[in-house]
Amino acid sequence: MTATPALKSFATADGRHPAGIDLSAGVLGAIVLFLSALVGLPLLWLAVFAFTNAKGMPTLANFGDLVSDPDLLDPLITTFSLAGLVAVFAAISAAPLAWLVSRTNLPGRRIVRALLTASFVTPPFLGAISWEILAAPNSGILNRLWREMSGGTEALFDIYTFSGLVFVVTCYTAPYVFVVLSNALDRIPADLEDAAGILGASRWRVVRAITLPLALPALLAGALVAFLQAMTLFGSPAILAIPAGFHTITTKIYSLFQFPPKPEVAAAAALPLLLVTMLLLFMQSRLLGRRGYAVVGGKSGEARLMALGIWRWPAFALVMMVLALPLFLPYGALLKAAFSRVPAGPLDLANLTLAHVNFVFIEFSQTRRAFANTFVLALGTASAGTILALLIAYRVARQGGRTGRLLEALVSAPLAIPGIVLGVGLFLAYTRGPLVLYGTLWILFFAFLTIELPVAYQQMRASFRGLHPELEEASRILGATRLGTLRRITAPLLKSGVIAGWCLIFIGVVRELSAAVILSSQNTKVLSVVIFDLNESGDLGAIAIIGVTMLLLTFAIIGFANWIAGVGADPRRAVG
C-alpha cells in the first residue's frame, strides 16, 4: 500500500517477468473455480428454494412471510441485538487479555494462551449446558451457594435470560477476537513504540497512540468474526433461548425444518443475514482499506515486552478470574457431572460412579467412530483450508482488483449463512450430480471447509495487512517467481499467522454442530452431533465425559502444532 510506484509497477508485471516460469496464474485460476463451486453450489440451491414455492414455481411469497410475520421479525431483531452485544463484549474482554499476553511480561503467558485456546475449543452448546448446571435460577450450583451464603431466596444470576445468552455466547466467542488480535500484537515491532518513548510519551500513551491503532484492523476483524459467529450460532440459543421465552433466527429456522417442514421460508429467512454480512464486510474493507497498517517490513526491529512492575501479579489474578468464566467453572461442573450418579446430587462417595466412563468407552458403539471421524475431518479440513485461505489472502492482499474482490466475497459469504441453512444447501448440492457425497465423510469435509474458510481467511488477511510487500518485492526483483516468493519469503514471515489459521479451522471443525447435525449419517457421526443426541436423551454424565476427552485431545493436537511451529526459526516468537 505504501510501496513506491516504481517497485509496484514492476512487481505487478507478472507474465513478462524474465526469470523462471510463473505458475501463479494457473493455480489462482483453479482456486477461483474451486471456490466458486464450493460456495456457489449450496448458495445456488438456497436461492432456488428461497424464490420458489413448495410446488417448485417461482415466487416472492416467502419473503412476504418474512416481513409480515412478527413470529419471524422478532427473532431477527433479537439475533442482531445478540450479535451486536456479543461483538462489543467480546472485543472489550479479549483486547486487554491479548495485550497482556502478547505485549507484557505477565507471568505464565504460555499457560494463559493455552487456557484461552481451551475455552475456544469448547463447543458453545457444551458451554451452554455447563452454564445451565451452574446458573439455572433454582438448581444452578452458583445460585444454590449464593442462597446458602446470603440466606435469601433470590437467584444471583439467571442464565435463562437474554443477558444470560449474551454472556454464554460471549464466553465462547471472545477467543476468536483474542486469537486474531494477539497474533497481530505479536508482530508489532518495538521500534515505533521506542520512537514514541524517546519522544517522551508515557507508557500508557504509547499503548494508546501506537500499539492500539496498529492492532485496530485485527481488533475489528476479530469483532466482526465474533458478530457473525454469534449471529449464526444455533447450539447455545437452542438450549438457553427457548426456556427464556424468545427465539433467535437460528432456532426459528430450525423449527421451520420440523414437521411440516418449510425449507423455502428458512432459506428466505437466511437472506437478511447474508445481506448484513456483505454490508459489514464491505464497510470493513472501506474502513481499513484507506490506511496503511504494514508493520513487518525489511527494516523492522523485534517486538518487545512491556514490564508491568508491581501490576504483574494483580494482572495475572485478573486474567485467571476472567478465564474462570468460560473454563474453570464450566469444566468443574462438567467433571462433577461426569462422575456423579445423579448430576444434581451431592459431591459424596455414594453419588460417585464410573458408569458414565464405562458407557462412553465400552458400551456406546458410536464413541470411537465419532472420535475418529471428528479428528480425521479436523486435520484434513484444517490443512486443506489453511493452504486455500493463504493463497486467497495472498492474492487479495497483493493484487486486489476485481478478481480479488470476487474472491473475497466468495470466501466470506458462508460466514453469513447459519450453519443449519448452509447444511441444507450443502445437502441439496451433494446429494445429486455431479458429486454425490452424502453418507461419506467427504460431504462433511466440504461442508466444514466452506464454513471455516472465512474465519481462516480473516486471520490470514489480517496477517497480510501487517506485512509490508517490500520484502516480497525484493525477492521478485532478484528473480524468484511469485509462488517461490510466497514459499520462501512470505510463508516463513507469516508462520505464526498460518499456524493460528490452521488451529482456527481445526477448532472450528471440532465445535461445529449445526451443519453436522443435518449432514452426518450413521457412519459419519461426529462428536458434536453425538453430544447433541445425548443431550436430547438427557445423558449429562456421558456428555461430560465426551466433552472433557474432546477438550484434552484437541488441546494436545493444538499444542503439538504450535510446538512444531516453535521449532522453526521465528525470532519474534522466541521472545515470547
Partner 1 sequence: MINGICRSLALLIVMTMAAQAQTPTYKITPELEEAARKEGKVVYYTSIEVKVAEELAKAFEKKYPGIDVVVERNGAERQFSKIGQEYSSKIYNVDIVNSSDAAHFIFWKREGWLASALPDEVQKIYPAGSFDPEGYFAAMRSSLSVIAYNTNLVEAKDAPKSFADLLEPKWQGKLVKAHPGYSGTILTATFQMARDLGWSYFEKLAAQQVMQVQSSTDPPRKVVAGERPVMIDGNEYNVFLEKERGAPIEVVYPSEGTPLVIGPTGVMKSAQHPNAARLFHAWSFTLEAQQLIVDKGGLRSLRPDIKEPQGRKPLSEIKLMKDDPVSVDSQVGDIKKRYLRYFKT
Applying CB under 8 A, the residues found at the interface with partner 1 are: 71, 136-140, 160, 238, 241-243, 245-247, 255, 257-261, 341-344, 359, 363-365, 424, 427-428, 431-432, 438-439, 517-518, 521-523, 533-534, 536-540
Nearest-approach distance from CB 262 to partner 1, in angstroms: 10
C-alpha cell at 434: 455431479
Picking from 236, 202, 226, 203, the residue whose alpha carbon sits closest to that of residue 93 is 226
Residue nearer to partner 1 on the CB measure, 218 or 518: 518
Residue nearer to partner 1 on the CB measure, 79 or 412: 79
For residue 49, how far is the Cα from the chain centroid? 28
Nearest-approach distance from CB 424 to partner 1, in angstroms: 8
Residue nearer to partner 1 on the CB measure, 106 or 531: 531
Strand-pairing partners, residue 467, are 296
Nearest-approach distance from CB 431 to partner 1, in angstroms: 3
**326 with 127: CB under 8 angstroms?**
yes
C-alpha cell at 329: 467453572
The radius of gyration of the chain from alpha carbons, rounded to an integer in Å, stands at: 24
Residue nearer to partner 1 on the CB measure, 103 or 247: 247
Which DSSP helix (H) or strand (E) runs through 334? helix 329-338
Nearest-approach distance from CB 346 to partner 1, in angstroms: 12
Residue nearer to partner 1 on the CB measure, 255 or 399: 255
Nearest-approach distance from CB 136 to partner 1, in angstroms: 5
Residue nearer to partner 1 on the CB measure, 242 or 387: 242
Alpha helix positions (H), 23-140:
24-50, 61-68, 70-103, 109-121, 124-135
C-alpha cell at 281: 464486510
Nearest-approach distance from CB 129 to partner 1, in angstroms: 11
Residue nearer to partner 1 on the CB measure, 47 or 305: 47
Q: Using the structure block, give the residue that is written with the C-alpha cell 516460469.
A: 21
C-alpha cell at 564: 512444531
C-alpha cell at 376: 480425521
**Termini Cα distance of the chain:** 29
Nearest-approach distance from CB 242 to partner 1, in angstroms: 5
Nearest-approach distance from CB 252 to partner 1, in angstroms: 10
Euclidean distance between CA atoms 24 and 11, whole angstroms: 13
Euclidean distance between CA atoms 547 and 527, whole angstroms: 9
Residue nearer to partner 1 on the CB measure, 137 or 404: 137
Euclidean distance between CA atoms 38 and 21, whole angstroms: 29
Q: What are phi and psi of 373, to 5 degrees?
A: -55, -50
Euclidean distance between CA atoms 493 and 498, whole angstroms: 9
